[in-house]
Structure formats: structure tokens, C-alpha cells
Amino acid sequence: MENNFEKGLVEDFVPRRERMKRREKAKRIRKIVFYVFTCIAGVLVITWTVSAVERLMDWRSMQVIPAKYGVLEEIKEKKAVVVRRETALTVPKPYSIRYLVADGVRVRKGALLLKAESPEINRTGEETNLKLYSPQAGTVYKKTDGLESVLTFSSLKSLNLNSVYDKVTKGVMESQGKKGDSVIKIVDNLSPAYLLFPSSGINLEEGSRISFRISGSEDVFSGTIEQDSNNISMVKISPVPQDLMADRLCNIEVITKRAAGLVVPASSLVERDGVFGVYAVSAGNMQWTEVEVKGIFNDQAVITGINPGQEIVVNPDTILRTEKT
């Protein structure tokens, strides 16, 4: 009977030991699972934290500016020769001139322009005064160059424009006129004027219109391309701007590209399916808004489609990265 009891104890002990082994194994498995889960959760938390910090830094680096109205241009600077309908008046030397009309004043035909007195005639006791009257209506200027009777509308048809431009800009054509004796000129400001300038770097076609600005002036003028050959363009201007009535040479800015609208950085434009837009900011939200691009000028663009003062994102790459993630 004792043997049976001992045998029972042994049989009972063996399963208990197995059970303990299984429990220990289960604990180890649970620990491993816990450790693995903790590691995965930690990696996820770290990844989310890094991503959140990056997004926060991206948002802080985002630049926002208001869109403002403006005009952008691309220009080509040129030196131009001016040909006008004008008449130069002369007085024999050595007369002393007393002008009676100021520069830029329009006079009628027959108006008294000046009085001249010669010291040599004065010693004889004879009449020393010489009066000069305007032969036509026009605007008076004292500056003459002797080319008033050389460079005329009719002569432009027969002269080589390239040669004319070269000689006038170098000053070698003046000897053909009467610069020494000319004292005043009358410009017909109601007739057109012509500009001759090199057309290199500009795409011009005869009959087309161009816009230009006289250097130092904000006013924009326009003219028609009458002729474009041998690298010289001839532009007809009517009416004649005041700044083109006195001098033979002038510096002009030919406007090759011009756009008016809201001026924004070109970096703010985002293209979607062939359509341009900007990220407009409203009440803390940023929404892609379609716009029409009027022109791009280096790092700036002219657009329409949003209101003046609308805040836009200058560097939308941040938003695009966020949208992709």
C-alpha cells in the first residue's frame, strides 16, 4: 500500500513540474511579446514625433505675403535718331541775337521770333536791327544741328537708313548742314516724327505697333514700324512727344513684354493638370486657388484671379510635401 502511495506521489509530481515549465515558457513568451510591442510602439512614437517636429518646422518656415497690383516689363535700351518736319532759320554773322520766344512755345505763322544786331553795321550809323519772323506755325527751339534740311521725310525714302544712323550717331553728318548759321528752328508738332534705331534683339515686323519710353520719363508712347531692314527700324510716331522735339539723338526703352495685374513671386505658382494656381490663406486655412498667369518675369509673375491684398504662400513646397505624406 505504501508503494502505491509513493507511486501516486511520483505520478502527481511529474505533471506539476511540466505545468510549471509550461508556465515559465508562457511568461517568457509574454515578456518577449511585450518587449516587441514596446519597441514597435516606441519606434512609432519616435517616428511620429520626428514627423510632427518636421511639419512644425516646415509650417514655421512658410512665408506668406499679400498680392499687390503692379506692372512688370522687359525692355531693350536703344539709341535713336529723331527725324522731324522742321525748319531752321539763319542769321548772318556776327549778329547779336535777342530771342523773343522761349523754347517749347508754339507760335503762329508770322510771329516775331528774335531781333539781331550787328556791331559792324552799327558803326556806319545805319539801321542795325534785324527781325526774324516765323515762316510757319509750329513749336520754337533754339537748339539746331544743321541737319534740319538734310534729314527730311522725303530724303528718308532714298537714303540708306543704316548709313544715316551710323553717321548721325557718330556726328559725321552734321557738316552737310548749316549749323554755324542756324539760330532757331520751328518744329511742326502736328506732323508725325520718325525714330531710327537698331532692331537687334527685338522681334519686329513692318506694320506692327511697338511701345517705348523715353529714358528718364515714365510716360509710355507707341508707334508703327514703317520699315525694318539692314538691322535698322524706322518707327512713325504721332503725335510727337515733347521730349523728341529738340534733340537729334535720344535714348529710348523699347518695351518687348508688359503685363499688369497682381505681382507675386513665381515660386508661389503651383501647376495642377496644366492649370496654374496659388495657395491662398484665409482664416488660417490654405487652399489652392486657380489663377491666370499674365506673364512671368524672372522670379516674379503677374496674375489675375484673386483679390488685391489676398495673402498667398510664397514657398508652397512645404504644403506639397505634407499632401504627399
Instruction: Tell how far CA 242 is from the center of its chain.
Output: 25
Query: Does 324 score more than 80 pLDDT?
Result: no
Query: Does 74 score more than 50 pLDDT?
Result: yes
pTM comes to: 0.71
Place of cell 511520483: 10
pLDDT in tens, 182-227: 889 999 999 999 999 999 888 888 999 999 999 988 899 999 999 9
Q: First-to-last CA distance in the chain?
A: 78
- What is 135-191 written as a DSSP string? SSSEEEE----S-TTTS-HHHHTTS-HHHHHHHHHHT-SGGGS-TTTEEEEEE-TTS
C-alpha cell at 121: 553795321
Identify the three-state secondary structure at position 313: strand
pLDDT in tens, 227-277: 988 889 999 999 899 999 999 999 999 999 999 999 999 999 999 999 999
